[in-house]
Amino acid sequence: MFTRRPRDLQSDDDGPAPGPARMGIGAQVYVLDSDEDAASPFPYGPTGVVLRAGGSAWQGVSAIGGSARTWWVEFDSPQIDRDGDGPVERAQVAERFLRLAPPLA
């Protein structure tokens, strides 16, 4: 059932081609600015890196319309939130406000 491929049939590539980018730990992201979504928690559209998933089994995360996935984002520079609090270096942000940053060419 499980056998090794003969050497002459093995390819020299490094494995399967990468699939589409996904939100997750290590993803480079930006937060929607207030022009794109008036409810954005960070009105100036900061950029950063996803550190870990937000919430926990002990602390449910809910939002209007049901539960929402959140991510801890470390910003490239300290940010002020919509209420004027801060500056903060990292924050828990709902996934609906995050977008994957375009890849560097």
| pLDDT computed for residue 22 by the predictor | 80
Distance of alpha carbon 83 from alpha carbon 37, whole angstroms: 15
pLDDT in tens, 76-93: 999 999 999 989 999 999
Q: Enter the tokens of residue 69.
A: 């996935």
Model pLDDT for residues 3-12, shown as the tens digit of each residue: 565 555 555 5
pTM of the model: 0.70
CB 32 within 8 A of CB 101: no
- Residue 14 pLDDT exceeds 80: no
Domain spans, the chain: 22-100
Class of domain 22-100: mainly beta
Cα-to-chain-centroid distance, residue 38 = 20
- Rounded Cα–Cα distance for residues 89 and 73 (Å): 9
- Which residue matches tokens 């900061």? 46
What is d(CA 26, CA 49) in angstroms, rounded to the nearest whole number?
Answer: 6
Beta strands 70-79 and 47-53: pairing type? antiparallel
